[in-house]
Amino acid sequence: MNAVFWFSAGAVVAALNAVTRRRAVTSIPASTKAHSLVLVVGGVFLRLGLIAGLLGLALQRGIVPGLLAFGGLWVTRGVILVCFGLGWFGVFERVPESVNDGG
């Protein structure tokens, strides 16, 4: 398999990682703490399993595919963090001041 495949596979896994993390955080209900813990811990194991599986498969093919998959993970993660920080995805919406003041 070629370099583009492994880099793209890393990018896809990083994107899935960001989507599942965002979905878990936005769907946490404030009332049930046990349910929230299950969502967060389950999501962590799912994300780590995807990353470990990708890197394991890539490293079985050689060091270059492993490094390309790792590079895809980190480059995409960096791009996603920059885009979220700049507000390009509309994730960080303004919270009214009355909510911040508690009233």
Q: Give, for all 103 residues of the chain, the pLDDT tens digit.
A: 688 999 999 999 999 888 888 777 777 766 777 777 777 788 889 899 999 999 999 999 999 999 999 999 999 998 988 887 776 665 545 444 444 444 4
> pTM to 2 decimals?
0.73
| DSSP letter, residue 32 | -
pLDDT of residue 75: 94
Tokens standing for residue 2: 């070629």
Domain that holds residue 33: 3-100
Tokens standing for residue 90: 């509309």
Neighbours of 93 (CB within 10 A): 6
- Tally of domains in the chain: 1
